[in-house]
Amino acid sequence: MLEYPLIRPYPPRLSMMTAALQAIEDHGVYSNGGPVVRGFEHDITRRLFEGSGNSLAVANATLGLMLALKRVQLRSKKVGGLVLMPAFTFAATAHAAQWAGLTPLICDVDRDDWVSSARAEEELLRRFDSRVVAMLPYATFGADIDLDRYNTLGKMHGVDVVVDAAASLGTTNARGTNFGAGAPFAVVYSMHATKTFATAEGGLIHSADIALIDELRQMANFGFGAERSASLPGLNAKLPEVLGLLAQAKLDEIEEVCTHRALLGDAYRQGLADICGGQRPTSARQALQFWPMLIPTDLSAKREQIVSELAARGVGAGQYFSPHLGQQSHFQETALIGPTPVADEIAARMVSLPITDAMTVADVERICERVRSTIRTLRNTLVPKKAAPARRPIVSALLIGGGPAGTALLTAASKQGRLVDLARKGFTIVEQGAGLGDGALGGYAIRSDSTADTFLSAVRDNIHPEIAALMDHPAGRLMAKSADALGAPLVDAGWLLSVTGARLKAIVEEHGGRVLMQHRAQSARRMANGMWRTMISDASGATHEMVSQHIVLATGGFQCWATLASTPVAGARLDQLAGDRLVASDAFLKLGGINEVRARTAKVRAPRIAIVGGSTSALASAILLLKADPALALGANAITILHRRPLRPFYPSVEAAHSDGFSDFCDDDICPVSGFVYRLTGFRLEARELVLRMLGIGGRAPDPRVRLYQIDGEHDGEAQAVIEAADIVIGATGYKPNAFPLFNVDGTPIPLACQQPGGGPLVDRYCRVINAQLQPVPAAYGIGLAAGFRPWGPLGGEPSFRGQANGLWLWQNDVGMLIVDDLLKDARRAVA
């Protein structure tokens, strides 16, 4: 038996409460909010929360979180509701969200106090603005977090707040009141036997909002109203009277308990400050359940030995919370997980030491000495490894970028049973983000111009069962709900791509490939032997080189502001016509981007908006304006789309076009492979529907708020007048590829076609990167947005098409396999 167990429950003793137990029996009320529990609720509100608001005792804290989050879910009108929470917390936090019908959105934590990172929270709020219904911060180990900030942030983003304060009963602020006093939202505490506020089991919900507590009280009693009829969703979350006795008794002693534990905490802080990291104090007095510390970084791999050695020396130690939420298999399968590098590090180094009511400062000093001795002993066993001679690893191919296009290449290989072959050749992926798959895609507020089935086709019946199983994953099921819709929300598409990316990554690594996350490829230089030497930096800024037979650029595209501003429109530069009213469509289409339009037109009675461009982005911008919620004050002809070329709708066949009354096409506009009309030129899904309406095809009535204007000639005075009169001008003139720096053997830059004045494609018809002379750069390929690929031959497409094809389906199939086949062919040749 351990001399110092990590947790030694010390709830009040029922055996000393015979008179109180007899009173319960005499009264004959054992639950349902009897006098003991109601008295406790009144007393704890008065004594810990300054008598403000109200408190509700529940059977346990998890039920308390479930009730509070279910209330959020009932109040929200958002589809696919997400709850933003930190990675470094107990599983019950995320489970409660899922039981309430919501999905956890997991963020990183702060390096110093281990609570939710403000930066990570705000980034995910912007990215998932349309889906986040609540923030669920955790007051880590009883820390005092800034509730005023959460109140402001909630109002700013239109989301509710629920606080997980499981370990915080007894934590006090500078005023001496308990953490959570005055909070306008639900703050949920635990009264479990292992907590500082120890009973047998129980929880408490407190809020300054009395009506909120009244509503939760009704939900905790089966949703029953005054007439014992369910008018709200409900469950049985009531605290029994006997446990109310324990809670009342613990309330009487909590001040003494917390003060004593704080002294033990100070002793730990002093005894281990020079050897172990600790949580930055945030409260006047923290209700310490145990003493959490971070072991030295150089010993993180020996944590199990530390815990085992401490146990041998009579000291119980734990590892709260390791693994953290984002590392647990259930939540990896069912939650959205942002980058969590800090939580990863903290979870890997976390060790918890005993703090119990029976311990003394002398006990803490003895434990500290045993910890120090254990660490000294293990440090002495660390044998410095002799540095191996520096060697550049050689791989078959280096994929630079793991976003939608890069992952599509892997998907293409997986669908054809070639991914394992790629991985076995030493295939390596370098991605600057924390995960493969979605890149920036999930950060847009619009629907895709690919069908939901296109996204699902990447996983449906995939030969890898772990990928095929994603059809039943929450992300797959959510995507399937858009099967009959005009495209899928890109935030949903991003989720499916990210979970697909995680499984593709696992397959690559299992079969010998490598995936370098949070690494950035900086440049690549040709070697005399025909290989590429790529300079790569990691998250710390340290650099190394990697040698590969091939490189594949999947670095995405961007909307170049200089190119946008200098776009000629009717004989003048766009920035000269629009001035500071010019907004880039890429920024506008992102989550929250419409807020700038709201702000700029807030005082305009009948705003006028000009959209310059005939691209999918131009039509998507118009649709986003038309569907804004709350609606914008758009009158007749409020939106003008100025375009140069005619806007064409896609049709699946000539017969379908004719039956719809559309005949504005010729033989050169029909794909000889598929029979599609305007297969590549034509707009699809939501954009197509708007084009059909505005052209009046099939008897459709145009939207009176929109007008199309085809710019006629170089000096079109009316086009200029439209732009000059607009309150907002949205430029949607296309994207340029993120051209990756390539260098010759002698170190001179390789000028690429896409970098020339006026722009050009990144790749040729075989997806090979091309230089300024339109010649292929040896062993270099490209794929993705703005790469400039134009389908040909067996890939199909109408002969009249003169643009570039940017389609997920192409990347995941024919285009992806063009590259995969070449990589494997050259790999076989190299082996031979």
At 785-811, the pLDDT tens digits run 889 898 888 888 999 998 777 788 889
Q: What is the average pLDDT across 366-377?
A: 95
CATH superfamily of 394-559+737-831: FAD/NAD(P)-binding domain (3.50.50.60)
- CB burial of residue 714 (10 Å; 0-12, 13-18, 19+): exposed
pLDDT band for position 831 (cuts 50, 70, 90): very low
At 674-730, the pLDDT tens digits run 999 999 999 999 999 999 999 999 999 999 999 999 998 777 889 999 999 999 999
Bigger pLDDT: 769 or 760? 769
Q: What is the average pLDDT across 209-224?
A: 96
Which CATH architecture is the domain 561-647+683-734 placed in? 3-Layer(bba) Sandwich (3.50)
**Domains 34-253 and 257-380 in one fold:** no
pLDDT at 85 over 80: yes
Whole-angstrom CA distances from 90 to 141, 186, 300, 414, 801 are: 10, 18, 21, 36, 56
Q: What fold is seen in the domain 34-253?
A: Aspartate Aminotransferase; domain 2 (3.40.640)
Q: What is the average pLDDT across 514-531?
A: 94
At 624-642, the pLDDT tens digits run 999 998 889 999 999 999 9
At 331-350, the pLDDT tens digits run 988 898 888 889 999 999 99
Q: Is 775 helix (H, G, I), strand (E, B) or coil?
A: coil
Model pLDDT, residue 794: 87
At 17-38, the pLDDT tens digits run 999 999 999 999 999 989 999 9
pLDDT band for position 832 (cuts 50, 70, 90): very low
Q: What is the average pLDDT across 190-218?
A: 97
Question: pLDDT exceeding 70 applies to what percent of the chain?
Answer: 98
162 CA to centre of own chain: 19
- 647 φ, ψ to 5°? -90, 125
pLDDT band for position 392 (cuts 50, 70, 90): low
pLDDT band for position 656 (cuts 50, 70, 90): very high
pLDDT at 453 over 70: yes
Which residue ranges make up each domain of the chain?
A: 34-253, 257-380, 394-559+737-831, 561-647+683-734
pLDDT at 464 over 70: yes
Q: How far apart are CA 222 and CA 394, in angstroms?
A: 64
The domain 257-380 having CATH identifier 1.25.40.10: the answer here is: no
Amino acid at the residue 708: L
pLDDT band for position 819 (cuts 50, 70, 90): very high
Contacts of 622 (CB under 8 A, 6+ apart): 611, 639, 641, 690, 706
Model pLDDT, residue 242: 97
pLDDT at 1 over 60: yes
Model pLDDT, residue 478: 87
pLDDT at 189 over 60: yes
Helix axes 303-312, 361-380, angle to 10 degrees: 130
Q: Is 232 helix (H, G, I), strand (E, B) or coil?
A: coil
Q: Is 213 helix (H, G, I), strand (E, B) or coil?
A: helix
Tell me the DSSP string of 545-586. Answer: EEEEEEEEE---EE--HHHHHT-EETTEEHHHHHGGGEEEHH
pLDDT at 287 over 90: yes
pLDDT at 388 over 60: no
Kind of pairing between the strands at 568-569 and 728-731: unpaired
Model pLDDT, residue 640: 97
Model pLDDT, residue 84: 97
Q: How far apart are CA 217 and CA 594, in angstroms?
A: 39
Buried b (16+ CB within 10 A) or exposed e, 676-703: bbbbbbbbbbbbbbbbbebbebeebeee
Model pLDDT, residue 384: 58
Average pLDDT, the chain: 92
- DSSP secondary structure code for residue 637 in this structure: T
Count CB atoms within 10 A of the CB of residue 637: 14
